[in-house]
């Protein structure tokens, strides 16, 4: 199962996490992709309910060779809005195009929101 971790972090913590991940990758250990946001509001703005619905649909119907027009029709949404959502999700790395179809490269999104500073 491929997963991506979504974290809410500070710029300083993001740099520290990047260094740790870099060292881990250099040593040949598996690294879980991470997507960072500066605040919950930033996360909710980037991954809206509609985008999450779209992402789930793509993940569950990858074998159907979906394009944006088919996706908009299946979800009962406006083509232009779906196009914008697909583009935003592509920029985040949560949707990809493969062989002319839309695919979700991850099976799971794990969201972390720490309440205390890491030790």
Could you tell me which CATH number the domain at 3-112 has?
A: 1.10.10.10
Q: Where are the domains of the chain?
A: 3-112
Sign of the CA dihedral 88, 15, 33, 114?
negative
Instruction: Using a cut of 0.75, tell me whether the model's pTM lies above it.
Output: yes
* pLDDT tens readout for residues 11-66: 888 888 889 888 988 999 988 889 999 999 999 999 999 999 999 999 999 888 88
Compute the distance between CA of residue 58 and CA of residue 119 in angstroms, rounded to an integer.
38
| C-alpha–C-alpha distance, residues 105 and 9, integer Å | 23
∠ Cα 16 109 53 (to 5°): 135
Res. 118 pLDDT band, cuts 50 70 90: low
């Amino acid at each position: 199962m491929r997963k991506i971790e979504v974290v809410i972090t500070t710029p300083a913590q993001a740099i520290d996490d990047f260094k740790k991940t870099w060292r881990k990758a250099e040593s040949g250990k598996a690294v879980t992709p991470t997507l960072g946001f500066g605040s919950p509001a930033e996360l909710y703005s980037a991954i809206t309910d509609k985008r999450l619905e779209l992402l789930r649909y793509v993940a569950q119907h990858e074998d159907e060779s979906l394009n944006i027009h088919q996706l908009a029709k299946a979800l009962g949404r406006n083509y232009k809005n779906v196009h914008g959502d697909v583009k935003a999700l592509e920029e985040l790395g949560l949707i990809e195009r493969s062989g002319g179809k839309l695919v979700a490269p991850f099976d799971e999104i794990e969201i972390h929101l720490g309440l205390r500073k890491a030790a």
